[in-house]
Amino acid sequence: MPVSPRYHPDPRFFDLGEDYGDAVSAADFPETRLRVRNDRAAATVGLETLTDAEWVAHFGRFAPLPGQPGPMAMRYHGHQFRTYNPDLGDGRGFLAAQMRDDRGRLLDLGTKGSGQTPWSRSGDGRLTLKGGVREVLAAAMLEASGVPTSRALSLIETGEELERGDEPSPTRSAVLVRLSHSHIRFGTFQRAAWLERADMVEALVEHARSLYHPAVAAGDVPGFMRAVVDASARLAARWIAAGFVHGVLNTDNLNVTGESFDYGPWRFLPHYEPGFTAAYFDRTGLYAFARQPEAVFWALTQLGGALKTVAEAEPLTEALNGFGPAYIRELRAAFLARLGVQSLCEAADQRLLDTTLALLREGGEGLRWEPLFFDWFGGFASSARALQGPRGKLYQGEAFDAFRFALFEHAPDRPERLEVPLFAAAEPEEMRIDEVEAIWAAIDTHDDWAPLEAKLQRLHEAGQARG
């Protein structure tokens, strides 16, 4: 049997019908070479028992898994850099399957680079191998940092030479499969509203509410909006705490579960830099690091606009207005989690948030983002480790004194985590661009996958150590 007894297919999005997606077929690739197989993620949905040949058949050739109807390219619209585009949709991917995980959550298997669809426009529907490797790395780092994220389940090299204008060409090709909580985007609702199909908007709300926000009562559209606002605020806060820059926060790249996905030109901050951008084409800094909460809120207002077709504006506006307080609350919680300390009270927690950001700002390029949280993980219990470590000389001055006072107000959270060997190391696991390029260079020039495999293992161990 190719799947384990823990595999529970539940293809619910397909029940919405042809108004929401198109049946498609995957490209017939010249070859299928399995490069990344994420058995830890696969085990959560009962797919870890697949042989490599079965794995390639399902995730390279896309033979339907048991109980699944076959691939569907999802239809959606979206604002791209705040310009509305009604010609979007799954142009190089599709929804391959849906199933329940070991906690009963509905999860999607979504593809990237699986071939052309009715929504490909002039694109070839393919993914570069480098792009696939970068998505694997981004998802692994975010998961290790406690950010709600899709997981890269599979990466298969497909044997085609692709021409791209933004990297050396021809370049190698791949198909990626991600495991994600939902691919229902803000833009999915925008499309239904643009078509003036209130019935479609209502069906989408009920579908997403019942599956992803069941605590909201049936028919409570503002309640559904509040749930999406809260989930999105948590996501934005976690990005900031992780020093992550998504790069392309269009309304087709944000979903109703508040889970980060679709990683293109992402970067992690080397040091505190509010205006840091990830995408070379983001010339105005619209999606710069510190503007990400603003971008998420703007996208939420577009979702609210779509929902106005089936609900009154005032309660939707009230739900939107909850984003600011929710974001600040979630940002405090995210920084406490990254520093490994317990909440004390709102004022003290805010003081720790403010002084941490001030120290990062004052530290300049000498104090990198990730090492600060590594050095001081566990609060007071890590003072000797931090002050005697490679950045000890940076921890001085007024900004540091204020940070230390605020940090030491907070008790360590699960201090036994500091006994893990990870915290005996001098440096944390980071995701700096030079390391990303070195990992890719080993693959590109020598077909050496060992550095990637080692990095993924270290990231997993780092996530386990942080709990």
Which residues are annotated as catalytic? 252
With contact defined as beta carbons under 8 Å apart, do 88 and 252 qualify?
A: yes
Distance, CA of 340 to CA of 377 (rounded, Å):
5
Written as six digits, the tokens of 261 are: 């996905």
